[in-house]
Amino acid sequence: MERTDKPQDRIVNAHAPDIRRGAKSKKLTFVGDKVETLVSAETGLILSAEPMAGNASDGQKMAEMVRDVMEHHGVCPREVVADGAYGYPKYRRQMEELGVRLTAPVPVPHNAAGPLQERFRYDSRQDVVICPEGHRSVGKFYNPRMRGHQYRFDKAACTGCPVRSLCTTSRSERSFFISDHYDMMQQAKRYNQSEAGQAALSLRPRIERVHNALKNHHGLKHPRSKSRERFRTEVILTVMVVNIKTILKRVGEKVGSIIRHASRVRTRMAPVCP
């Protein structure tokens, strides 16, 4: 069976019917669930954690988790910082409805890559895209899957263009995609480039350390639960343990490093009596 003909949400394990096949990249795949977490950048405490299928979209539960934190803890976060998978217009709109700023890298538009990519300009008044050589788009069509318009340039102008090799690899004319949420994404891009945006994005490594602790040091990489409901219980208990350790490190007495592997325990032999 061709890959395109296979069902997208098929069961991969009859003994654990809830799990799905997910992907970290085009080459790195996994079978199982993934956990979406909401971590306080100020305290390092995990405010919420929710498991979901491995093939689910990142950010799918973000708005719901933020809303739960606002209701249960009585606080409204000023800003939510996330990676590029959360930077799409749908998630930005959800955060905007909650009154919370979402700071995440802006996804790269679906256009041909090249060094001239950032030099294309969109004129909203005349509804045209202008290329680095000054040529204007001559037509457009709507792409419902990508939710935006694809602007195309004149084939004759592209054929004789001196920078064609730097602009596109297409055998015909160049095209350029403009999202329905173009103004929102441009505003997000400007904020990310500002001093405040750079300071917010620099907090991401702290969150990744929490993910590393949950996954590699507290057993979530190889869970024992087969159903998602039981895995949710395992996630909650693990989050409680990690939060207790965080509190001890911040407000309690200074504790030594916790030994996680027996091989790191150094024993000293007792002296032999004569």
pLDDT per position as a tens digit, 131-180 = 888 899 999 999 887 788 989 898 888 888 888 878 887 777 888 888 88
pLDDT given for residue 251 in this prediction? 75
**Phi, psi for 270 (deg, rounded to 5):** -75, 145
Identify the helix (H) or strand (E) that includes residue 169. none
CA geometry: angle at 189 spanning 147 and 197, to 5°? 140
Instruction: Return d(Cα 33, Cα 142) in angstroms, integer.
Output: 35
Residue range 85-131, pLDDT digits in tens: 898 888 999 999 999 999 999 887 666 556 677 788 888 889 999 98
Distance CA 168, CA 174 (A): 6
- CATH code for the structural domain at 3-107+186-251: 3.30.420.10
pLDDT at 274 (0 to 100): 41
Question: In this predicted structure, what is the pLDDT of residue 193?
Answer: 92
Task: State yes or no: pLDDT of 81 exceeds 80.
Answer: yes
Instruction: Classify strands 20-23 and 29-39 as parallel, antiparallel or unpaired.
Output: antiparallel
CB–CB of 46/24 below 8 Å?
no
pLDDT in the model for residue 14: 73
Q: Is the pTM of this model over 0.75?
A: no
Contact residues for 6 (Cβ-Cβ < 8 A; gap 6+): none
pLDDT band at 273 (very low <50, low <70, confident <90, very high): very low
At 262, is the pLDDT very low, low, confident or very high (cuts 50, 70, 90)? low
The residue ranges of DSSP E strands in the chain, in sequence order, are 20-23, 29-39, 46-53, 79-81, 101-103, 121-123, 128-130, 139-143, 148-152, 175-179
Q: Which residue has the higher pLDDT, 146 or 215?
A: 215
Which of the four pLDDT bands, split at 50, 70 and 90, describes residue 233? very high
CATH 3.30.420.10 intervals, the chain:
3-107+186-251
The pair phi, psi for residue 60, each rounded to 5°, is -60, -35
- pLDDT for 54 equals 82
To the nearest 10°, the Cα dihedral for 119, 102, 218, 26?
-30
pLDDT tens digit sequence for 14-55: 777 777 877 777 788 878 888 899 999 888 899 999 998 888
What pLDDT score was predicted for residue 265?
A: 47
Q: What is the mean pLDDT of residues 186-193?
A: 92
